[in-house]
Amino acid sequence: MKLDRLLFGDNQFFGINHMSEEKARAQAMRFQDLSAVIDVLDSAYDEGVCTFMCTTHDRIADVCDHIRANPDRYQDFQFYPCMPYAHKYANAVTDHGMVGALLHFMPDDGLIKTAFKGATSLAGKDINGMLRILIDAEMKMFRGLNTPVIFMQNVIVDLILGMGMVDVLKVFHDHIHEKYNAEPGFITMNMPALYKALTAAGIENPIICSNINKIGFRTCGGLGAYEETLRTGKLRAIAMSIFASGAIPPREAIEWLSKLPNLEAIVFGASSRRNIVSTRDLVKEYFGPES
């Protein structure tokens, strides 16, 4: 499948800013109310940015409910879920205990069967079985919605990569294909290393999202290795942190990105229609119209 060129991210909604704690706090306060989040998503959608790449934060469930409740308004809206959101599980265990947390996140369909499978996997130390159950639990909030690409978050991808457990990434890849008829994606802080590992595991032309920007901000292994992987590898790359949290002017950032091979999409965050339109227009200017 072809990815949308421009994807809308969710960092601004949860007070995440890698350069400014003050700006992060201000954003967190602004978006405490769901209506403020929906207003920005509506602005992006109305300006032609129809794909929301988001974590599985509890508050995204409210966004999902809103989209489900207004199908005519959001006919072309699609989610790219990114899982897991680790803090959610830690908070659930604190609030409900281990068993209560497990039941809280399990899919509604076949609860007893799923619980039995989970207990069996846990007792048998079956990591693959537990991973499938966790994926299904994370996807529960997106039921009935369009989710053509589903990502594993970098906090897990890079841990697995560091431990050399690449077969776990293959389990995720296969389960997303088979159960959700979707494309699996992987977010990482080390694109060159992940690409080599996925290729070795037999995963062809993978979707990999990583920091890609002109100054090499948060590019583990160095910008040169990223450029080499993009030039010589067979992958569908998605660039995040494209403005390096404000360190690179938008026009300069996007012009540089437009010259890279194998860059299929860009994910960006914005808090206003003006900034959404500005980024969209710069991408059109330098990348040309989408075919």
Domain ranges for the chain, please list them.
Answer: 6-95+147-287
Rounded-to-integer distance, Cα 285 and Cα 277, Å: 12
- In angstroms, rounded to a whole number, what is the distance separating the alpha carbons of residues 87 and 189? 19
What confidence tens digit (pLDDT) does each residue in 35-48 have? 999 999 999 999 99
Confidence (pLDDT) at 113:
44
Q: What value does the mean pLDDT take over residues 196-204?
A: 95
The phi-psi region of residue 82 (left if phi > 0; otherwise alpha if psi is between -120 and 50; otherwise beta) is: beta
Q: How many CB atoms lie within 10 A of CB 270?
A: 19
pLDDT tens for each residue of 93-144: 455 554 455 555 555 554 444 444 444 444 444 567 778 888 998 999 999 9
Neighbouring-strand partners of residue 211: 240
CA-to-CA distance for 250 and 258, rounded, in angstroms? 12
Q: At the top level of CATH, which class does the domain 6-95+147-287 belong to?
A: alpha beta
CA–CA separation, 53 and 57 (whole Å): 12
Residue 226 pLDDT class (50, 70, 90 cuts): very high
Q: Please give the average per-residue pLDDT across 248-258, as a whole number.
A: 97
